[in-house]
Amino acid sequence: MDRIMNALAALLTALVVPGAALLASLALFGAFVALVGVNPLEVYELMYRGAFGSWFSWQNTLTRAAPLILTALCTALPAQLGLVIIGGEGALVLGGLAAAATGVALDGAPVALVMGAMGLAGMAAGAALIGGVGALRHRRGVNETISSLLLTYIAIAVMNHMVEGPLKDPASLNKPSTAPLAEAYQIGPLPGMDVHWGLVLGVLCAVAAWVLMSRTVFGFAARMVGGNPRAARMAGLPVGRLLIVTTALAGAAAGLAGMVEVAAVHGRANAALVAGYGSTGVLVAFLARQNPLAVIPVAILFGGIGASGGLLQRRLGLPDASVLVFQGIIFVVLLASEAMQGRVRLFAPAPILPAAAKEA
C-alpha cells in the first residue's frame, strides 16, 4: 500500500514542476500576444476550444499527435544511451518512400501481407538510416547529432529524386508521386472516430519502448551505457551492439511513422511527406524528458497546439508562427524548470522509496 502511495506521490511531484512551467509559458505567451495588441484571454479561450474544446477538436488534436509519438521515439530511445539524434525527419521520409514502393510492388497480394510488408519496409528504411548513424558513431566516432541532421537532408534529396525519377507514377502529372496504393492497402480511421490507426500504433510503440527500456535487461544495459559509457564498457557490456540496435529501433519507429503517413494520409509517397513531424518529434522527446511513456501526453499537447493554430489565425489575425512561438516558449521554460526538478517535495516520502532514484 505504501508503495503505491509513494509511487503516486512521486508521480504527482514529478508533474508539479512541468505543470507550473506550462502555466508560466501560457502566461509568457499571453504577455507576448498582449504586446502585439491581442487580448490574451481570448487567445487562451480559442486555444482551448481549438485543441480540446469539443469532440471535433479532440480528434483534430489526436490526429496531429499520432505521427509525433513515433518520431519522438526516434530521439527518446537513443537518448537512453546518451545520444542526441535529430534525424527523425529523414527516417520518416525514407520509411514512407520504402513503404509506398513496397505497397505498389506487391499490388494484388493479400491485404494483411501487403500491410505487414509495408510496415516492415518502412521500419527497415528508417532503421537503416538511424542505425547507420549509430554505427558511424560507434565505429568512426562521428558525432550522431550532426550526422543524423546531414543524413536527413540527404534522405529528403533521395526521396525527391526517386518520386520525380525512377519511382514516379507517370499519371501523377503536376504533383510528382509514386503510384497510389490500392484502396484496400490504406489504413482507415478508428471505429467511431476520425482518427486513423496510426495513433494506436504510436501508443503501442511508446509502451513497448518503455517496457524495453525500463523493464528488460537490454534497457538496463542501455541506460548504463547512457549513464557512464566507460563503466559500462569495463563491465563488459556490448556497447556497440546496444548502440546500433537502439538507434536502429529508433529509426524503425520514425520509419513506421512514414509508413503510416503514406498508408493513412497520402496514399502515396511524395514531397508532402516532408512536413516537419520529425523535427517536432525532437521537441516532444526532449519535453517528455526522453521518457517513452511521457512522449504520449506531450505529443497530444503539441497536437493540440497545432490544432488551435488555425483558430488563432482566423479569428484573431495572429500569424501562423504563433504556434512556433508558443512551442518555443514552453520548451525554454520547461528546460529552465529542470533546475527546479527534485527541489519541490510535496509529500514526505515513506522510507521504502529509494530516494526517488534520481541523480542529484
Partner 1 sequence: MDDGSLGWWGVPLAVLAGAIRISTPFLFVSLGECLTEKSGRINLGLEGTLVMGAMTAYAVSYGSGDPWLGVLAAGLAGTAFGALHASICGLERVNDIAVGIALMLLGTGLAFFLGKPFIQPQAPQLPAISFGWWSGSAQVRSALQVNALFLVGLALAPLLLWGLRNTRWGMVLRIVGESAEAARAMGYKINQVRLLATACGGFLAGVGGSFLSLHYPGSWNERLSSGQGITAVALVIFARWDPMLCVWASLLFGGASALGPALQSVGVTQGYYLFNAAPYVLTLAIMIATSSSRHRLAGAPAELSVTR
Partner 2 sequence: MGNALRFSRRSVLKTMTAVGGLGALGAGMPWTSALAKDLVIGFIYVGPRDDYGYNQAHAEGAAAVKAMPGVKVLEEEKVPETVDVEKTMESMINLDGASLLFPTSFGYFDPHMLKEAKKHSDLTFLHCGGLWTPGKHPANTGSYFGYIDEAQYLSGIVAAYSSKTKKLGFIAAKPIPQVLRNINSFTLGARSVDPTITTAVIFTGDWSMPVKEAEAANSLIDQGADVVTCHVDSPKVIVETAEKRGVFCTGYHASQATLAPKGYLTGAEWNWAKVYTDYVKMAQGGVKIPNLVRGGLKEGIIKTSPYGAAVSDAARKHADSVKATFMDGSFVIYKGPIKDNKGNSVIAAGKEHGQTDIALESMNWLVEGVVGSLA
Point out which residues bind partner 1 (CB under 8 A).
84, 86, 136, 138-143, 145-147, 149-151, 153-154, 157-158, 160-161, 164-165, 282-283, 286, 319-329, 331-332, 335-336, 338-339, 341
The CA dihedral of 123, 128, 134, 137, to the nearest 10 degrees, is -160
Candidate residues 14, 26, 47, 50; the one interacting with partner 2 per rule CB under 8 A? 50
Identity of the residue, 176 or 349, whose beta carbon is nearer to partner 1 in the bound complex: 176
Distance of closest approach, residue 253 Cβ to partner 2, in angstroms: 19
Contact 209, 142 (CB under 8 A): no
Instruction: Please choose which of partner 2, partner 1, none residue 39 contacts, taking the beta carbon within 5 to 8 angstroms, the exact cut-off set by kind.
Output: partner 2
In terms of Cβ atoms closer than 10 Å to its own Cβ (0-12, 13-18, 19+), residue 217 is: exposed
CB of 160 to partner 2, least distance (A): 6
What CA–CA distance (Å, rounded) separates 239 from 222?
8
Select 207 or 324, whichever has its Cβ closest to partner 1: 324
Cell numbers found for residue 203: 501508443
Q: Which is nearer to partner 2, 129 or 163 (CB)?
A: 163
Residue 119: left if φ>0, alpha if ψ -120 to 50, beta else—which one?
alpha
Least distance (Å) between residue 92 CB and partner 2 = 12
C-alpha cell at 246: 537502439
Alpha carbon distance 174, 169 (integer Å): 11
Stretch that binds partner 2, among 79-87, 101-109, 156-164, 346-354 (CB under 8 A): 156-164
What's the number of CA atoms in the CB half-sphere (13 Å) around residue 259?
A: 31
What residues line the site for partner 2 (CB under 8 A)?
35-39, 42, 49-50, 54, 56, 60, 63-64, 160-161, 164-165, 173-176, 261, 265-267, 270-272, 275-276, 306-307, 310-311, 313-320
